[in-house]
A and B are shown apart, each in its own frame.
Chain A
Amino acid sequence: MLKIEHLTKRFGGLAAVNDVSTTIEAGKINAIIGPNGAGKTTFFNLISGVHRPTSGTITLEGQDVTSLRTDQVAHLGVARTFQTTALFDMASVLDNLIVGHRLRTKSGLLDVLRGSSLLREEERICREKARDALNFVGLSHLENRMAGDISQEERKRVAFALALATGPRLLLLDEPAGGVNPDETQGLADLIRKMVQSGLTVCLIEHKMNMIMSLADKILVLSYGEKIAEGTPAEIQANPAVIDAYLGSEHADA
């Protein structure tokens, strides 16, 4: 799905991501883990076009996307969620989601002023996509609730729904289970599995090891911006370099 070659990003003298090569495999749950400050979010920002890499290339299904802007990458089918979910609290959940499908619509100012049939049709489609996405994440009953009145876990699900409404192929989830309790984490993990079953590719950053080890098909481990390991959960758990990075070198031999 996504091929990353020798990706490097320097902020001044600091290499936040240093010569990382990997692939994000289609139809799988790809996880990125690493200690705080390992460059995980920077890695996401590079893929989604927020930052331009200092060097290296990113290829999405054969198309070079290295120097595209975030909105252009989104048009190609890469959606993402953020660690904190910015919703407009004064509007309903559904209202928050309608804009999600805007990128697949064409109507501009003239359509708006004329009230053209294209605009009406596109608004209907956007509303439909928003409802579908809300239904997918299991929150149809919250459609009319104010976004400011829903729980943290429901906010996470709405963020997923917003990303889904864009019609993505690849979904980047930045700490999807951050700040939710263990039961809810399980529910979100089930939802992520459901996304992959529906044909999406998922790449996620997460700190909750139990969740990652049971959920991911493939794990990439970053430390100080460098790739130190890559493989299945079982391989990663047995990898001395990973144990070293997480627990300190004195544990590596144990």
Chain B
Amino acid sequence: MAYLEGKLGWALLLAAGLLFPLFTGNDYHLTVMGTAYIFAIATIGLNLITGYTGQFNLAHAGFMAVGAYTVGILTVDHGWSFWGAFALSGVVTAFLGYFIGILSLRLKGHYFSIFTLCVGYIMFLVIEKWEGLTHGTVGIMGIPAPEPIGAIRFDTPLALYYLVFFWLVVGLWAMRRIVNSLLGRTFMAIRNSDELAESLGINLMRNKTLAFMLSVFYAGMSGGLYAGYVRFIGPGVAGVEHTFDMTMYMLIGGLGTLLGPLLGALAMPWLTQYLQFLQEYRFLVFGPILVLLVIFVPHGIVGTYLGWRARRAAQGGQHAQD
């Protein structure tokens, strides 16, 4: 299997994403996949603070909404181009994330989660009530599609699909660099035990804040893409159910693994599509699946596979010595 995890594996994954439109005849499937990519970007970001750094952030959808509204407000109310607004969406979100981070990261464990749950709800309320800025419950309509770059136009589902796919690849590439580096190891040491990490000379507050800012930067960017993709946003973007969806994606794929959140974020929307006939009752299927997964596959699909492989490698190493 090793060859599947090296460059070849990534190339196959990239090819699958590039060729996906050839195998699906209809725009609806492209839109489902494109939306899944957008949430995958946000989930990959959430995984950095929750999965790798061990701080269970429940305000993530709020930050995604900040990115989406940055694009919505700047383009519709201030006449910015999509690209200019999109470039700011991650930055504005990370800037806000800094202040929320230095406040909330003083708390540990469940207290941090409860605090961020409240922060997320406050963000939702601010968006819903501050009509002067956000258009309130009406939402922002008529967000322009991304302007053409040279000959590439972004007015078809196919072009938009490739646009979000491009950012997914960039996001995954950057995250791979981060988590495989000393910086990633620093974050994981904090998840593992913050008192041990601190005794190893790791500045907890600085590193947790950095992880938080990077995490919400992803959320903001994905929100910005969402605004340009769907071209209509409402306060619902900040809804806590989006955070729970993304948390579910992470758990299913594997908390603290690179590909886990991607797998979960891509698989679950398709499962949802197939269970559409059950309407709201489909949660009767999701609920037990999630419970069984948490009990029997606590490290998620990717996490379980990686554990199995590492164990095999360790045993293989021993045989070599015997």
State the A residues within 8 Å of B (CB). Answer: 48, 50, 69-71, 74-75, 79-80, 82, 86-88, 90-92, 95, 98-100, 102-103, 105, 107-109, 112-113, 115, 119, 122-123, 126, 141, 143-146, 149, 162-163, 166
Q: Is B201 a contact of A146 with CB atoms below 8 Å?
A: no
Do B192 and A146 have beta carbons less than 8 Å apart? no
| B198 at interface by CB-CB < 8 Å | yes
Q: Are B200 and A113 in contact (CB under 8 A)?
A: no
The answer for the CA separation of A144 and B210 in the assembled complex, in Å, is: 30
Q: CB-nearest residue of chain B relative to A168?
A: B201
Q: Chain B, 182-193, contact with A by CB distance < 8 Å: what is the 0/1 string?
A: 111110110111
Please state if B310 and A92 are interface contacts (CB–CB under 8 Å).
yes
Assuming the A-B contacts A50-B195, A102-B201, are A90 and B306 also in contact, with contact meaning beta carbons closer than 8 angstroms in the complex? yes
**Bound complex: CA A228 to CA B52 (Å):** 46
Given A70-B199, A92-B310, A141-B321, CB of A102 within 8 Å of CB of B299: no
Chain A residue with the shortest CB-CB distance to B204: A71
Interface string of B138-158 (1 = CB under 8 A from A): 000000000000000000000
Q: Which residues of B contact A102 (CB under 8 A)?
A: 182, 185-186, 189, 200-202
B178 within 8 A of A: yes
Q: Are B185 and A149 in contact (CB under 8 A)?
A: no
Indicate whether B234 reaches chain A with its CB closer than 8 angstroms.
no
Kindly list chain B residues whose C-beta atoms are within 8 Å of the C-beta of A88. 188, 191-192
* Chain A residue contacts of B311, Cβ below 8 A: 146, 149
With A90-B306, A146-B311 already in contact, the answer to whether A71 and B182 are too (CB < 8 A) is no
Given the interface pairs A86-B192, A115-B177, the reply to whether A70 lies near B182 with Cβ below 8 Å is no
Return chain A residues, CB-CB under 8 Å to B201: 71, 74-75, 102-103, 166
- Let me know if B103 is at the binding interface, CB within 8 A: no
- In the complex the two chains form, is A144's CB within 8 Å of B192's CB? no
A2 CA to B138 CA in the complex, in Å?
66
> What are 18 A-B interface contacts by the 8 Å CB criterion?
A50-B195, A70-B199, A71-B204, A80-B199, A88-B191, A88-B192, A95-B185, A99-B188, A100-B200, A109-B183, A109-B210, A112-B182, A113-B174, A119-B182, A123-B182, A126-B182, A146-B311, A149-B311
Residue B196 is within 8 A (CB to CB) of chain A in the complex? yes
**Inside 8 A of A92's CB, which chain B residues have their CB?**
310, 314
- Interface status of B8 (Cβ within 8 A of chain A): no
Smallest CB gap from B311: residue in A: A146
| Complex CA distance for A166 and B186, rounded to whole angstroms | 13
Binding site for A on B (CB under 8 A): 174, 177-178, 181-186, 188-189, 191-193, 195-204, 210, 214, 299, 303, 306-307, 310-311, 313-314, 317-318, 321
Please indicate the chain A residues that have their CB under 8 angstroms from the CB of B191 in the complex: 88
- 14 additional A-B pairs beyond A71-B200, A90-B307, beta carbons within 8 Å, are A71-B204, A74-B200, A82-B195, A91-B188, A91-B310, A99-B189, A103-B200, A103-B202, A109-B214, A112-B184, A113-B178, A119-B181, A145-B318, A149-B311
Q: Tell which of A98, A107, A149, A163 touches B183, judged by Cβ atoms closer than 8 Å.
A: A107
- CB pair A87 B198 closer than 8 Å: no
Q: Are B183 and A79 in contact (CB under 8 A)?
A: no
By the criterion CB–CB under 8 Å, are A71 and B210 in contact? Answer: no
Cβ contact within 8 Å between B195 and A166: no
Q: Give B320's nearest chain A residue, CB to CB.
A: A144
Q: Is the CB of A123 within 8 A of B181?
A: yes
Closest chain A CB from B69 CB (angstroms): 26
In the bound complex, CA of A163 to CA of B201 (Å): 10
Q: What is the minimal beta-carbon distance from A134 to any residue of chain B, in angstroms? A: 14
Nearest neighbor of B303 in chain A, beta-carbon distance:
A90
Cα–Cα, bound, A231→B318 (Å): 47
Q: How far is the CA of A48 from the CA of B199 in the complex (A)?
A: 8
Q: Which 8 A-B pairs have the closest CB atoms?
A: A103-B201, A74-B201, A86-B193, A70-B198, A99-B185, A112-B181, A99-B189, A144-B317
Contacts A71-B203, A146-B310: A90 and B183 contacting too (C-beta < 8 A)? no
Chain A contacts for B203, CB-based, 8 A: 69, 71
Could you say which residues of chain A place their CB within 8 Å of the CB of B193? 86
Question: Roughly how many angstroms separate A90 CA and B202 CA in the complex, as a whole number?
Answer: 21
A126 to B193, CA, bound (A): 20
| Most B CB within 10 A of own CB, among A50, A87, A99, A105 | A99
User: CA of A70 to CA of B199 in the docked complex: distance in angstroms?
Assistant: 6
Chain A residues within 8 Å of B313, by CB: 144
Which residues does chain A contribute within 8 Å of B188, judged by CB atoms? 88, 91, 99
Most buried by A among B191, B197, B204: B197
Instruction: Given A112-B178, A113-B177, verify A71-B202 contact (CB < 8 Å).
Output: yes
Asked whether, in the complex, the Cβ of A112 is within 8 Å of the Cβ of B200, the reply is no
Q: How far is the CB of A51 from chain B (nearest CB, A)?
A: 12
The listed residue (A71, A149, A162, A163) touching B198 by CB distance below 8 A is: A71
Q: Cβ of A86: which chain B residues have Cβ within 8 Å of it?
A: 192-193, 196
- Determine which of B182, B198, B303 lies in contact with A105 in the assembled complex, contact meaning CB atoms within 8 Å: B182
- Quick check: B200 and A144 within 8 Å, CB to CB? no
Complex Cα spacing A99 to B194, Å? 13
Chain B residue nearest in CB terms to A122: B182
- Which residues of A are found within 8 Å of B317, using beta-carbon distances? 143-145
Chain B nearest CB, measured from A83 CB (Å): 11
Alpha-carbon separation in the docked complex, A90 to B189 (Å): 13
In the complex, how many angstroms separate the beta carbon of B187 from the nearest chain A beta carbon? 10
